[in-house]
Amino acid sequence: MKNTFRLTYFVISLLLFYSCGSTKYIDISETKLTDDAATPETKLLFQKIKSIANDGIGIGHQDATAYGLNWKASDKDTFRNDIHDVVGKYPLVHGWEIGHIELGNTINLDTVSFNLMRKQIATAHKLGGINTISWHLDNPATDGSSWDPTPAAGSILPNGENRDKYLTWVNRLADFIKSLKTDSGTAIPVVFRPYHEMNGSWFWWGANNCTTEEYKELFRDLVNLMKEKSVHNLLYAYAPNSLNSPEEYERFYPGDEYVDILGIDIYNHSGDSSFVEKLKKDIGVMRDFAETRNKPYAITETGNVKPENPNWFTEILYPGIENSGIAWVLFWRNARENHYFATYPSEIAADSFKKLGQKNDILFMEDVKTYKIKK
Ligand code: BMA
């Protein structure tokens, strides 16, 4: 009996030792965010992101646990992910897409069920992951898709002819965000990245399809509406697409009071090595912008559009991002063989991804500490 007691005591001490060692207590009292009423957990997430950026670069993946090459999660399924199948660790950042939530649909525009999403978001959060949400909402003027460039922004701002319809859409968005909860009912904090890639013109909110002022108003209006609807578990991210000039980064910026995190989406369209310089240049512009504002920054979307180089992750991506200060790099979705952006077991650059994953500064979910609020 005595020995059993000693052994139990020893095991508990060991567990406590290790769990304390891997827990980081953060003082959130001075944390100022876009949302003055942000929940403590949202403030903690912001500080966690800053802290991660000091330690290395988090790996992110869009629709990480919803599907991969030749598999799809069902509501019963466990927590599978293509990157995990390759390296044995989960991405730190899990990206989600809520396009069509505005229509009241049960699945998003890529057929991912919102119920599954809610469940996987909660699991990722529980395991120490970070969730981020993008929104390819339909064109409110035409009911076409996000890619319908018909001008619409002016019509949904206050007094516009589609305002009421937009308010219904935003209500549905708010309800979904508020439904993200832990088992004990606490709101799960999320990085929300609406109206992204606005410096391009492929979305109805993009450069040639609305004025810069309309764009800024659209972003600010959405933030204000979310606050009015008592959504307090969001960090707001502003993320242009790859830049044609440094000034482009700032052109559509809604203001320091409306943005918590800076991002940029940069894809390697040609697959060639000029991408290394492209990354360095664009990240440099974002970093200067972010550092003067003391905000964290990340590559919010990337991927090799022409995946022909078996060493792409180590030879092209890594040299472009190492020591850059980005908090994470998020690979877009693994939809199908001609539309995937991370890796999977039989993928041409899977070994290169494994090597990337072995670098000390590359962080998966399992590599980061547990962050808790310092009382
Ligand atoms: C795009 C593509 C589309 C998808 C959209 C939203 O970049 O992957 O197929 O519908 O993102 O996830």
Catalytic residue among 41, 214, 301, 347: 301
User: Environment class of residue 227 by beta-carbon count within 10 Å: exposed (0-12), middle (13-18) or buried (19+)?
Assistant: middle
Query: Considering only CA atoms, which residue is closest to atom 7 of ligand 1?
Result: 332
Tokens (6 digits) for 195: 């109206």
pTM of the model: 0.94
Residue with tokens 């995990």: 84
Return d(Cα 257, Cα 291) in angstroms, integer. 15
How far does the centroid of ligand 1 lie from the alpha carbon of residue 276, in Å?
Answer: 24
Model pLDDT, residue 13: 44
Taking only the tens place, the pLDDT of each residue in 300-337 is 999 999 999 999 999 999 999 999 999 999 999 999 99
pLDDT at 14 over 60: no
Percent of the chain with pLDDT over 90: 92
How far does the centroid of ligand 1 lie from the alpha carbon of residue 369, in Å?
Answer: 32
Return d(Cα 206, Cα 130) in angstroms, integer. 27
Dump the DSSP string for 304-357.
ESS---TTIIIIIIHHHHTTS--SEEEE----BTTB--S--TTSTTHHHHHHHH
Cβ proximity of 63 and 133 under 8 Å: no
Q: How many CA atoms lie within 13 A of 181 on its CB side?
A: 9
CA dihedral 177, 122, 234, 361 (to 10 degrees): -150
Model pLDDT, residue 78: 84
Query: Considering only CA atoms, which residue is closest to atom 12 of ligand 1?
Result: 97
Model pLDDT, residue 74: 84
Query: For residue 63, which atom of ligand 1 is closest to its CA?
Result: 12
Is the Cα dihedral 137, 225, 266, 243 positive or negative? positive
Return d(Cα 303, Cα 333) in angstroms, integer. 9
Catalytic residue among 97, 197, 214, 347: 197
Question: Is 308 noted as a catalytic residue in this protein?
Answer: no
Question: Is 97 noted as a catalytic residue in this protein?
Answer: no
The best mutation among 61, 108, 242, 333 to test binding of ligand 1, ranked by most ligand atoms within 8 Å of the C-beta, falls on 333
Instruction: Count the Cβ atoms, other than its own, within 10 Å of residue 63.
Output: 24
Query: Considering only CA atoms, which residue is closest to atom 3 of ligand 1?
Result: 110
Query: For residue 301, which atom of ligand 1 is closest to its CA?
Result: 7
Q: Where are the alpha helices (DSSP H) in 56-162?
A: 82-87, 114-126, 153-156
Return d(Cα 67, Cα 74) in angstroms, integer. 9
As a whole number, mean pLDDT of residues 151-158 equals 98
User: Environment class of residue 69 by beta-carbon count within 10 Å: exposed (0-12), middle (13-18) or buried (19+)?
Assistant: middle
Q: How many CA atoms lie within 13 A of 358 on its CB side?
A: 8
Query: Considering only CA atoms, which residue is closest to atom 8 of ligand 1?
Result: 333
Q: What share of the chain is helix, strand, coil (3-state, %, to 5)?
A: 40, 20, 45
The backbone region for 174, taken as left when phi is positive above 0, alpha when psi lies in -120 to 50, beta otherwise, is alpha
The best mutation among 110, 242, 301 to test binding of ligand 1, ranked by most ligand atoms within 8 Å of the C-beta, falls on 110
Taking only the tens place, the pLDDT of each residue in 210-237 is 999 999 999 999 999 999 999 999 999 9
Taking only the tens place, the pLDDT of each residue in 65-123 is 999 999 999 867 689 999 999 999 999 999 999 999 999 999 999 999 999 999 999 99
How far does the centroid of ligand 1 lie from the alpha carbon of residue 82, in Å?
Answer: 18
Tokens (6 digits) for 303: 């991927």
CA dihedral 318, 319, 323, 328 (to 10 degrees): -30
Give, for 287, the enclosing helix (H) or strand (E).
helix 274-291
As a whole number, mean pLDDT of residues 141-152 equals 98
The best mutation among 62, 67, 97 to test binding of ligand 1, ranked by most ligand atoms within 8 Å of the C-beta, falls on 97
Tokens (6 digits) for 136: 């390819």
Taking only the tens place, the pLDDT of each residue in 239-254 is 999 999 999 999 999 9
Average per-residue pLDDT for the chain:
95
Model pLDDT, residue 21: 58
pLDDT at 11 over 70: no
Residues with CB under 6 A from ligand 1: 97, 99, 109-110, 136, 333
Tokens (6 digits) for 341: 């952006």
Closest CA to 282 of 293, 270, 290, 292: 290
How far does the centroid of ligand 1 lie from the alpha carbon of residue 86, in Å?
Answer: 23
Query: Considering only CA atoms, which residue is closest to atom 4 of ligand 1?
Result: 110
Return d(Cα 353, Cα 304) in angstroms, integer. 12
Model pLDDT, residue 10: 46
Return d(Cα 122, Cα 187) in angstroms, integer. 10
